[in-house]
Amino acid sequence: MRLSVSVAAMVAGALLTATGVSAQTPTFSTERLSEDARVLSDDSFEGRGIATPAEQKVIDFLSAQYAAAGMQPGGPNGQWTQDVTLNRFTASNIRAGFSVGGESIPLTQGQQIVISTRLPGDHVHLMNKPLVFVGYGIDAPERQWNDFKDVDVRGKVIVVLVNDADFEAPELNTFGGRAMTYYGRWTYKYEEAARKGAAGVIIVHETAPASYGWATVTNSWSGPQFDIVRQNAAAERVPMESWIQRDVAVDLFRRAGLDFEALKVAARSRDFRPVELPGATFSGTYDVASTQVTTHNVIARLPGTTHPDETVLYTAHWDHIGVGAPDAEGDTIFNGAVDNATGTAGLLELARAFGSGPPPERSIVFISFTAEESGLLGSEYYASNPVYPLATTVGGFNVDSMNVYGRVTRYGITGYGQSDLDERIGAVVESQGRSILPDANPASGGYFRSDHFPLAKRGVPMTYGGSSGDFRDEPIAERQASRSEYGRSRYHQAADEWSPNWDLRGQVEDLQVLYTVGSALANSREWPQWKDGSEFGPARAATADQRR
């Protein structure tokens, strides 16, 4: 793709000096970034759980920092916040098990199974429900793929695989190879099950296709679950959403006279048909406490001078898991230092940079989203109830879990190939002496797992990326080990804590990229475009007459 003349000029003006900073690019402070992340992930913030007393501490801290940076309140009615009304669901007194071949197999919450619900009600009572294996649980007419065929699963419990068929057989290229589509996400599988009338869903957890371990499942779904308020929740939610360990599934299938691995292979074909597990049923009962809560997006704005009704977005989620079961060290606070105190601190530093420079022609809006960990609910609410019209939102940059390990050779773009923001970012990255890495791990479905997605699917060009590639400074092996260890042992664990030993120089380089590209857009008449073939292009095209 060729860059337009104005984009090329922007890139030329953004070329970095040997020190890595251009005359137009402000200095970002590693000390401030570290301190903001330290404060937000301190034990006193109790893991930044939404709709808890800790939430007000987050709001107070962020609004004070945005104000000090020169921002104005960007929420409705001159407030710093946008109210996000959610239903909260807490399942308790959980009893569950399989019955097969006359034997009972008890399932313990958090060990063999994790059960949750997002359907309003007081009690769930599922007794002797037939079990049906439906492969990946996908119905995609445009791909000539239907795992359900003509089998009626109403009132039954379906067993599904995580991800989609191309993860195991990328050569089929039915779902774009190993780059996960939305069909591979757990959110889609629960939604499709509700459309089919199932009583419940059991996702078989496997670490590689899920891209996270069992501990992440238990920490993410054992506590209260949240959902936006829906007019007809029964049509969109099933009574039981659950996961089981792979070994439990293998044993269950064996007892029912079936070969789990053979059925996994069969599920990779369009010809696959659902398989009922002979003589096997599921029973589960649990109480459900359903309450309505209000949580908050924090919104700050720097008004544009000549086109204030056109908006450039910077987004990151402020929430984390809160307080949960103790880990091996007895720690119960899920501090979320990397995920996502680092991204939240990055937004504050970007706000300081814009607030200390010349006023932009277009408005800059920073949104610290709530409820990302509950299923992107804060961003979903904003995208459904935008404070600033989506048609005249120029585009946006989402930051999540930024680099704390040092300078790297590349910048990874999750969902690379969707919009021309790729080229805009790539030109600035190259001027830093780095290169672009197109979606370092597309099989993980990262493009559907952070707060840019609800905006992107409504047509707003959004990008999501950050540090990737090899480390540039010694000790390289130690840095690589730390980065790998985080994904293995700290992600969504109580051990995700701030460290005074973080090396934030790589985060600074990423912020320089985001500032440079965003500033150029905010001082231009450019409108980023979705590329041909992007599924998000049609939604943007529908509002083309509102942009000039």
Q: What is the pLDDT of residue 299?
A: 98
- Quick check: 20 pLDDT over 90? no
Least confident of 34-43, 198-207, 322-331, 444-453: 444-453
Q: What is the pLDDT of residue 475?
A: 97
CB 344 within 8 A of CB 422: no
What are the tens digits of pLDDT across the range 380-434? Answer: 999 989 999 999 999 999 999 999 999 999 999 998 989 999 999 999 999 999 9
- Quick check: 510 pLDDT over 70? yes
Confidence of residue 229 (pLDDT cuts 50, 70, 90): confident
Confidence of residue 146 (pLDDT cuts 50, 70, 90): very high
Confidence of residue 145 (pLDDT cuts 50, 70, 90): very high
Q: What is the pLDDT of residue 439?
A: 81
Percent with pLDDT over 90 in the chain: 82
Q: What is the mean pLDDT of residues 247-254?
A: 98
Distance CA 54, CA 69 (A): 23
Q: What is the pLDDT of residue 500?
A: 97
Least confident of 149-153, 317-321, 487-491: 487-491
- Quick check: 4 pLDDT over 60? no
Report the half-sphere exposure of 50 (CA within 13 A, side-chain side): 34
Q: What is the mean pLDDT of residues 325-347?
A: 95
Instruction: Copy the structure tokens of residue 170.
Output: 């990328």
What are the tens digits of pLDDT across the range 457-467? Answer: 899 999 999 99
Q: What is the mean pLDDT of residues 315-338?
A: 95
pTM check: above 0.85: no
Least confident of 91-95, 173-177, 308-312: 173-177
The residue behind tokens 């959110």 is 187
Cα angle 233-246-213, degrees, rounded to a multiple of 5 = 80
- Quick check: 22 pLDDT over 80? no
Percent with pLDDT over 70 in the chain: 95
What are the tens digits of pLDDT across the range 421-459? Answer: 999 999 999 999 999 999 877 777 778 888 999 999 899
| Sequential DSSP letters for 384-442 | HS-SS-GGGEEEEEE--S---B--EEEEEEETTTSBTHHHHHHHHHHHTT-EEEE-S-G
Task: Between 367 and 177, name the one with better pLDDT.
Answer: 367
Q: What is the mean pLDDT of residues 147-151?
A: 97
DSSP assignment, residue 356? T
CB 513 within 8 A of CB 411: yes
> Considering the chain, what is the average pLDDT of its residues?
93
Q: What is the pLDDT of residue 86?
A: 93
